[in-house]
Amino acid sequence: MTERTIQLGHGGGGRLSRDLIREQVLSRFGEGPLRSLPDAALLPWKAKGLVFSTDSFVVNPLRFPGGSIGHLAVHGTVNDLAVSGARPLWLSLALILEEGLPFAVLAAVLDDVQAAARDCQVGIATGDTKVVGRGQCDGMYICTSGVGEPLSGFALSPRRIQVGDRLLVSGPLGDHGVAIMAAREGIRIGHPPRSDTASVHRLVLAVAQGHAEQVRLMRDPTRGGLAAVLNEWVEDREIGIRVQEQALPFSPGARALAETLGLDLLQVPSEGRMVLMCAPEAAEAICKLWREMPEGRDAAVIGEATAEAGRVVIQTAVGGRRLLDIPQGELLPRIC
Amino acid sequence: MTERTIQLGHGGGGRLSRDLIREQVLSRFGEGPLRSLPDAALLPWKAKGLVFSTDSFVVNPLRFPGGSIGHLAVHGTVNDLAVSGARPLWLSLALILEEGLPFAVLAAVLDDVQAAARDCQVGIATGDTKVVGRGQCDGMYICTSGVGEPLSGFALSPRRIQVGDRLLVSGPLGDHGVAIMAAREGIRIGHPPRSDTASVHRLVLAVAQGHAEQVRLMRDPTRGGLAAVLNEWVEDREIGIRVQEQALPFSPGARALAETLGLDLLQVPSEGRMVLMCAPEAAEAICKLWREMPEGRDAAVIGEATAEAGRVVIQTAVGGRRLLDIPQGELLPRIC
């Protein structure tokens, strides 16, 4: 019998990741807040509760067009809290550093952490630093955890999605993933894509004022991209989702590179975007709100919930249909 | 000019670690709760506050006599919360896994996480899993963060230490560090030392009932050992600490191995012990309480606060004195 071992695809955010987490993590810890596979957990805490989230960052290269591992480490955890309906307040910062890492590299990354945390109005509350020998980590890894305060009015759950609900995205999809791949492969094109790494918490705060109750679910489409998020939302449910292909926002650089690299941008991570499902009557209002904000300039209504249980379908411009499956996940190792 | 780079000693918990954290972390994030170099932060949160802590674990080997990285990942963060005067409630669990790691190794470590979390009565609330390629981490690293509820009555601060206050430890010192070194070096002796990895939160809960106000400070002597903790407590303060050498509890195995390896057990990490400074009138009562508990069986009063500002002194059995300095930190890489 061959020994089963961890494969790169287990970290890709697709089917392999999901299966690993189910088999190894949920089987052991799935009775509590982890049960619903959240990117963050809503915990009982005094009157209002507490939202708690964690993420490790192992991106390669450490610095890429549009940002660095330092930006990702803040934005990733802030965004997990935000799309869980919380106001992000405090982060922890754990560093794993490789012997020989230049101080200048560390300092530049920590400058980015500082700038991103200020921008997101979160404090770095506590930290830890470990050093491993040469060849035992690839420069540096960062783990951030975050705590946030639940915003009033949200009752986020896939169970609340109804046929006819509308699907929104806050901006172009996949820029982060293609920017990393281009940097890693040394690909040069005319308008090179830049990572979209950014926080979405202001987009969430804007929605919270007046539209919280109309929102069914929010997520940031990171590993596995939009495909992973939407498939997770409909899995084992009575509803499906139909996405209008021509409504999907993509940046020209990401489009060009995805073609070159043979990537489906719907499976490629963004690190500064959010997806939201809401009651149909709220969709245009939320989209308008977002478009007035720099981080939501290219927001769009891209689809709706259907009665096709468990299926995510892309409706093409010419009237065709294709199934958008959950990615396997081998494509993009160490993307965040 | 030579480029400054990260050295193994920067992770050792001694002077190099302290300087790195001051220069790179506190300089950027030191205005908030991080200012006092805590292993955990007390955050404003509703009425009572919230205690928040994080730790990465990069121990080599993953499994050692007495425990595994899974036990450490739970105990380390639970203990940081506990000695900050909190009841640990929830942990996050972030895994960085290396391609090729056998599932069986992962499963065994997660079994240990589960068992340790149950024993500590904390829930695993949220998690994250990343995979890196072969040669990019040494099997697996774990980062846990924790949130806890402040226990009533504690007002922990080095500023509250007064001359004559008593110093207690909950059990033998240094077992974890020597167990790791023995495992790594393949050293075999008659009574091989076992890691003391365990939680101290029940010791803290016991103290909280009736003695909280008499406690000045608590800590778990991990990286850098007792020497690092005590030196941190007296640094830049008007008080010093005198430790009675003959009162210090050590296990026979640790004593034998420390001699073989040339280690000073006062600089070697424990992972299931705590140190406490309290008003003199509480010392015997706390020591008695602890000795009635399995994890405090070998508790002892080991010293007291003095007027020798900033100095930690060891009083030997024959009446001699030596300064106990903060370790440099190069000795024991990847010990936790």
Task: Collect all residues of chain B within an 8 Å Cβ-Cβ radius of residue A147.
Answer: 43, 45, 50, 52, 147
pLDDT at A330 over 70: no
Q: In this predicted model, what pLDDT tens digit does every residue of B273-293 receive, in sequence order?
A: 999 999 999 999 999 999 999
- Gap between the Cα atoms of A282 and A207, Å rounded: 10
DSSP A102: B
Closest to A43 (Cβ–Cβ): which among B47, B54, B90? B90
A18-54 confidence digits (pLDDT tens): 899 889 998 998 877 776 656 788 787 777 789 999 9
pLDDT value of position A149:
93
- In A, minimum Cα distance to B21 occurs at A129
DSSP state of A26: I
- Please judge whether A131 and B6 are an interchain contact, meaning their C-beta atoms are less than 8 angstroms apart: yes
Task: Mark yes or no for CB contact B126/A92 under 8 Å.
Answer: no
Instruction: Confirm if A148 and A81 have CB atoms less than 8 A apart.
Output: yes
Measured between alpha carbons, how far is B326 from B18 in angstroms, rounded to an integer? 10
- B51: which chain A residues are within 8 Å (Cβ-Cβ)? none
Determine the residue among A56, A101, A103, A120 to mutate to test chain B binding: the one whose Cβ has the most chain B Cβ atoms within 10 Å.
Answer: A56
Distance from CA of A129 to the nearest CA of B (A): 6
Give me the mean pLDDT over the A252-259 stretch. 92
Q: Which amino acid appears at position A282 of this protein?
A: A
> What is residue A36's predicted lDDT score, i.e. its pLDDT?
61
Residue B9: list chain A partners with CB under 8 A.
131
Q: What's the pLDDT at A1?
A: 55
- Angle between helix axes B280-291 and B201-211 (nearest 10 degrees) is 130
Chain A residues with CB under 8 Å of B95 CB are 56
Average pLDDT over residues A249-277: 94
**CA-based torsion, A156, A158, A160, A163: positive or negative:** positive
Nearest Cβ partner for A6 among B17, B29, B131:
B131
Residue predicted with more confidence, A188 or A307: A307
Cβ–Cβ gap B130/A56 under 8 Å: yes
Q: In this complex, do A24 and B107 lie within 8 Å of one another by their Cβ atoms?
A: yes
Picking from A6, A106, A137, the nearest residue to B100 by CB comes out as: A6
Q: What is the pTM of this model?
A: 0.95
Residue listed under structure tokens 């674990």: B57
| Structure tokens belonging to residue A303 | 């689809």
Q: List pLDDT tens digits, range A62-73.
A: 999 999 999 999
pLDDT of B259 strictly over 80: yes
Cα–Cα distance measured from residue A293 to residue A271, given in angstroms and rounded to the nearest whole number: 17
For chain B, give the percent of residues with pLDDT over 90.
80
Q: What is the mean pLDDT of residues B160-174?
A: 97
Q: In terms of DSSP bridges, do strands B86-98 and B123-132 run parallel, antiparallel, or are they unpaired? A: parallel
A34 C-beta neighbours (distance < 10 Å), count: 21
Alpha-carbon distance of A334 to B266, in angstroms, equals: 40
pLDDT for B186: 87
Residue by residue, what is the 3-state secondary structure of chain B?
Answer: CCCCECCHHHHCCCHHHHHHHHHHHHHHHCCCHHHHCCCEEEECCCCCCEEEEEEEECCCCCEECCEEHHHHHHHHHHHHHHHCCEEEEEEEEEEEEECCCEHHHHHHHHHHHHHHHHHHCCEEEEEEEEEECCCCECCEEEEEEEEEEECCCCCCCHHHCCCCCEEEECCCCCHHHHHHHHHHHCCCCCCCCCCCCCCCHHHHHHHHHHHHHHEEEEECCCCCHHHHHHHHHHCCCCCEEEEEHHHCCCCHHHHHHHHHHCCCHHHCCCCCCCEEEECHHHHHHHHHHHHCCHHHCCCEEEEEEECCCCCEEEECCCCCEEECCCCCCCCCCCCC
Q: What is the ipTM of this complex?
A: 0.95
Residue B331 has pLDDT above 70, yes or no: no
Mean pLDDT, residues A90-106 taken together: 96
Phi, psi of A260 (to 5 degrees): -55, -45
Question: How does pLDDT run across B63-101, given as a tens digit for each residue?
Answer: 999 999 999 999 999 999 999 999 999 999 999 999 999
Cβ of A137 within 8 Å of Cβ of B141? The answer is yes
Q: Which two tokens stand for residue B80?
A: 């940081």
Residues of B in contact with A73 (CB under 8 A): none
Per-residue pLDDT of B5-45, as tens digits, reads 999 989 888 888 989 988 999 899 887 777 665 678 878 77
Question: Is residue A295 over pLDDT 70?
Answer: yes
Q: What is the pLDDT of residue B262?
A: 87
Of B52, B106, B110, the CB nearest to A126: B52
With CB atoms and an 8 Å threshold, state whether B333 touches A132.
Answer: yes
Chain B residues touching A8 at Cβ < 8 A: 99, 131, 133
Among the partner-chain residues B40, B56, B125, the one whose CB lies closest to the CB of A143 is B56
Residue A38: per-residue pLDDT: 62
- Of A103-107, A330-334, B181-185, which gets the smallest average pLDDT? A330-334
Angle between helices A280-291 and A201-211 (to 10 degrees): 130
List C-alpha distances in Å: A262 to A93, A178, A257, A258, A265: 35, 11, 8, 6, 9
Given this model, what pLDDT does residue B329 score? 63
**What's the pLDDT score for residue A63?**
96
- pLDDT average, residue stretch A215-240: 95
Beta-carbon contacts of B242 under 8 Å, excluding residues fewer than 6 positions away, are: B303, B304, B306, B308, B312, B313, B314, B315
**Residues B240-255: pLDDT tens digits?**
999 999 999 999 999 9
CB spacing of A133 vs B334 below 8 angstroms: yes
| Distance to chain B for A109, nearest Cα, Å | 10
Q: Would the pLDDT of A185 be above 80?
A: yes
Q: What is the reported pLDDT for A187? A: 84
Q: Is 90 exceeded by the pLDDT of residue B113? A: yes
Partner-chain contact A333 B131, CB within 8 Å: yes
Over residues A123-137, the pLDDT tens digits come to 999 999 999 999 999
Mutate which: A114, A145, A147, vs B, most B CBs within 10 A:
A145
For the record, the structure tokens of A56 come out as 């490790």
Tally the C-alpha atoms within 13 A of residue B217's C-alpha that lie toward its C-beta. Answer: 24
Nearest chain B alpha carbon to A138: B136
Residue A36 with chain B: CB contacts under 8 Å:
none
pLDDT of residue A327: 83
Identify the residue whose tokens are 């602890």.
B290
- Which whole number is the average pLDDT over A237-266? 94
Q: How far is the alpha carbon of A128 from chain B, nearest alpha carbon, in Å?
A: 5
pLDDT at A331 over 70: no
The pair of structure tokens assigned to B168 is 């207690």
**Residue B1: pLDDT over 60:** no
- Taking the C-alpha atoms of residue A168 and residue A38, their distance in angstroms, rounded to an integer, is 20
Output b/e per residue, B96-131; b: 16+ Cβ within 10 A: bbbbebeeebbeebbebbbebbebbebbbbbbbbbb
Percentage of residues in chain A with pLDDT exceeding 70? 98
Q: Do B114 and A5 touch (CB under 8 A)?
A: no
**B137 bridge partner residues:** A137
Gap between the Cα atoms of B120 and B90, Å rounded = 10
What band does A141 get if pLDDT is binned at 50, 70 and 90? very high
